[in-house]
Structure 1
Amino acid sequence: MTIGIAIRHYTGAQAPALRPLLLDVYTEVYADAARTAPFASADRFAEGLNHWTARPGWSCVVGYDNDQPVGYAYGAPLPPRSRWRGGLLTAVPADVTTETGTRTYALSELMVREPWRKTGVARQLHDTLLTARTEQRATLLVDQDHPKVHSLYRNWGWTTLGDLRPRLDDAPLFHAMLLGLPVAP
């Protein structure tokens, strides 16, 4: 089932005003995980949010049911010589990981609040964010402790590049995934 939501687009210039909403939704969605996993803490997310919103080309979509935020997705293009793939544990040809600044869009976050899960909102947010991208491909990380999420992305056309552990304290093991762009609207 897909429900009708309004999706609004935001850029880095709007990030400071949007920050409280993004933090509130994250804190709600990850409340259970934050109790037991330091990597999921709201403080760690806030630091990451600062990093992402400062990146050139950062973009975000937020879904609203009336005036109620239901979820969001955001990311930014990977810069030239990006070290983002530095945590890859799987051997990958160098030409696959070479970044130009316009080759790859990194989908950093996609989350939906509980009442709107399993309604098609996640896919709407995903597709809306990625449809407008001009890069050749998108990439994201999926925690390997969440096989249902990994399967969901595979069903949406993503392929697994390999295993990746970010060089961050308490970081879990992730699947690094790729998707060819553009995404059909």
Structure 2
Amino acid sequence: MTTPSTRTDVVIRTYGPGQVLPMLDVVADIWADAHPELVDNPGAASLGLSVPALHRQITGHLKHTGLALVVAYAGGTPVGFAYAFPCSADYWFGPDLVDQVPEAARTERLMGLCELAVRPPWQSQGIGSNLHAALLMAIAPKWSSLLALPSNRRGQGLYARLGYTYAGAYSNTPDGPEFDLLLLHVQAAE
């Protein structure tokens, strides 16, 4: 499926699980461009914030039914991507946070937004918002949730504009980085 962006020269394409593996290097390259502060940072790599970790993360998530990858192209060049999948509240929030989110977010269709990245020259042009909208269209959730580093000001700003609110602090491992768990009631955002 192809979705036009607000920019006339940007097209967003949606890929299903069987089409993701051939796109791994493309999305890893976009991720690396969007996160230069993490790429050559051994501390970030030790926390699982690296291109190899992204490869492992995406490959591991392919088991989830309904996974969708969206890629923004400008003049045929990939400039942004996002991916998500429908998931259970227990899986996404974990035992420490599941009881802290609204009951509806635990019982209605939930989308776990795993990554959203746009190359720096293309940021602040509506591409991230359009990638997000394409995922919502592909997955049709009632709720969406994601993890964002508190230090990621551009990402935090985008997620706030999209209507996400803080739901709690989250860490996938005891020694891992602390993320902000953000939550969006999709019905309220329409």
The answer, yes or no, to whether TM exceeds 0.5 is: yes
| 1:117 counterpart (99, 120, 123) | 123
Q: Deviations over 1:10-67 (max 9, x none)?
A: 0001112222211222233223312221232211111111112232110011110111
Cα distance change, pair 34–87 in 1 and its aligned pair in 2 (3 A): farther
Q: Which runs of 4+ in 1 moved over 3 A?
A: 87-91, 93-99
Stretches of structure 1 that go unaligned for 5 or more consecutive residues are: none
Secondary structure (helix, strand or coil) at the match of 1:45 reads: helix
- Is 1:11 aligned to residue 16 of structure 2? yes
| Structure-to-structure mapping, 1:97-116, within 5 angstroms | 98=106, 103-116=109-122
| 1:139 counterpart (107, 131, 145) | 145
Cα distance change, pair 17–97 in 1 and its aligned pair in 2 (3 A): same
| 1:60 counterpart (69, 83, 94) | 69
Paired residues, number: 179
Instruction: Indicate conservation of the 8 Å contact 1:30/1:40, yes or no.
Output: no
Cα distance change, pair 10–87 in 1 and its aligned pair in 2 (3 A): same
Instruction: Indicate conservation of the 8 Å contact 1:90/1:164, yes or no.
Output: no
Tell me what 1:157 maps to.
163
Tell me what 2:56 maps to.
47
Q: How far off is 1:70 after superposition?
A: 0.7
Q: How far off is 1:125 after superposition?
A: 1.0
Calculate percent identity across the aligned residue pairs.
Answer: 26
TM-score when normalising by structure 1 = 0.84
Stretches of structure 2 that go unaligned for 5 or more consecutive residues are: 1-5
Secondary structure (helix, strand or coil) at the match of 2:40 reads: helix
Q: CA RMSD in A?
A: 2.5
| Structure-to-structure mapping, 1:157-176, within 5 angstroms | 157-167=163-173, 171-176=176-181
Q: Deviations over 1:114-166 (max 9, x none)?
A: 11111111111111211343222111111112244223312211111111111
Q: How far off is 1:89 after superposition?
A: 6.4
Q: Which is helix-richer, 1 or 2?
A: 2
